Amino acid sequence: MKLSNYNSPRRPTIAPNRNLTERAGLIRDVANMLGIDAIKIELSNLLKDAFRIQFDDCTGRAQTLFIPAAASPARISQTLRLVSGPRRGSGQF
């Protein structure tokens, strides 16, 4: 595969500092809303323009999740809700 194909216009790119900081803040806000207390957010070394997120789900198991930095707020919320399980302290199973 040519390098020019890798950098095709289809791949969304994020401006370095401001947008990444805003997205990380959005991920943290959604996690707090879902009752995830301790969450570690960092840029992924494996995937371009993605966040690596580590947290414990509702059963206490460690989860590692990769979310594209260009993902919409709704997609981020849906993904975290799906992986984290029911809200802690909500009485739902």
> 63 Cβ partners below 8 Å, 6+ apart?
54, 55, 56, 57, 83, 84
What is the distance between the alpha carbons of residues 28 and 63, in angstroms, rounded to a whole number? 15
Between 46 and 14, name the one with better pLDDT: 46
First to last CA, the chain: 47
Which pLDDT band holds residue 32 (cuts at 50, 70, 90)?
confident
Q: Is the pTM of this model over 0.75?
A: no
Between 10 and 30, name the one with better pLDDT: 30
Structure tokens at 48: 């371009």
Q: Find the mean pLDDT for residues 71-90.
A: 77
What is the per-residue pLDDT across 48-66, written as a single tens digit (0 to 9) for each?
788 898 988 778 888 888 9
Q: Find the mean pLDDT for residues 24-41.
A: 85
